[in-house]
Structure 1
C-alpha cells in the first residue's frame, strides 16, 4: 500500500497573463506555484500557505480547476483558480526550506505557455477559462457529510 502525496497548485491571472515560477524539476523548468500539503492542512490552507511562501501573496481560492494523478510517483495534483486583491507583496521566496529553489517568476500570456514547457492543450484550457472545471466544496461538512 502506498501513501499518496497531495500537491496543490494555483492559477493566478493578472492582465490576461498567468504567474509561473522557475523551479527546476525533472520534467520542466517552469511551473505553477504551489506544493505539498502538510499533515492536517485542508487544500485551501495548504495552497494559501504555499502561495505566501513562494510569492509573498495572500490569495483566495475561487474554484477548483482540475485533479490529476501521477501514479508512478504516488502524487495527486489539485489545481485551483486564485485571486488576489493586490500584487504589491509579490516577491521572490527566501527558498529557506526548498529542496528545489525558485529562481525566477514570470507573467506569461496563454499563447506563450508552450515556450515554458506547457502543452498546447493546457494553454487552450487557460485561454478558455477551464470550461470543464469541477466544484471544490471544502470540508466534508460543507456538503452535509
Structure 2
C-alpha cells in the first residue's frame, strides 16, 4: 500500500532502490497482522519519511498478478513530523533520502506522464479498480 502526499505541486517521494528502472518511489509498505489499512499507512509513512499523515480517500486499487500483490494507494495529508526522520531499518531497501519532488520532475525520475497527469488532476476516477499498475502510469 502506498500514500500520495501532494503539497504545492510537489509529491512526497523516497529515494531508494525500487527493483525497477527508477530509484524513487511513493512511501508505503505492507500491512502487519491485525493492523487496519489506515493504521498501516500512517505507520509506514512515518517510518519511511518521518512525516505524520492523515489518510484520505482511496485513489486506486491495482494488481500485479505475477507477484500475487494487490497495490492499494491512498491520498494522504501531512499533519506533522520531520521530513527525513527515517526509522532505521524500516524498509528492506535502504532509503537514501526523502523529499517533496515537483510534479514536473517526475518523468525524469522514471514516472510516466500519465501518473503526473493523474496527480495534477486530483485522480479522476478515484476509488476504483484500475487493473495493472501500468493503467495508472506506474
Bucket of the pairwise TM-score, normalised by the shorter protein:
0.7 to 0.9
SS at match of 1:58: strand
Unaligned segments of structure 2, at least 5 residues: 129-138
Tell me how far apart the structure 1 counterparts of residues 45 and 60 of structure 2 sit (CA, whole Å).
18
Unaligned segments of structure 1, at least 5 residues: 1-7, 136-145
**Structure 2 residue aligned with 1:35:** 29
Relative to the length of structure 2, the TM-score reads 0.85
Is the strand fraction higher in 1 or 2? 2
Give yes or no for the alignment of 1:24 onto 2:17.
yes
Matched residue pairs, number?
Answer: 127
Root mean square deviation, CA, Å: 1.5
**Structure 2 residue aligned with 1:51:** 45
Relative to the length of structure 1, the TM-score reads 0.81
Give yes or no for the alignment of 1:119 onto 2:119.
no
Cα pair 2:64 2:70 within 8 Å, conserved: yes
Change (3 A) 1:130 1:97: closer
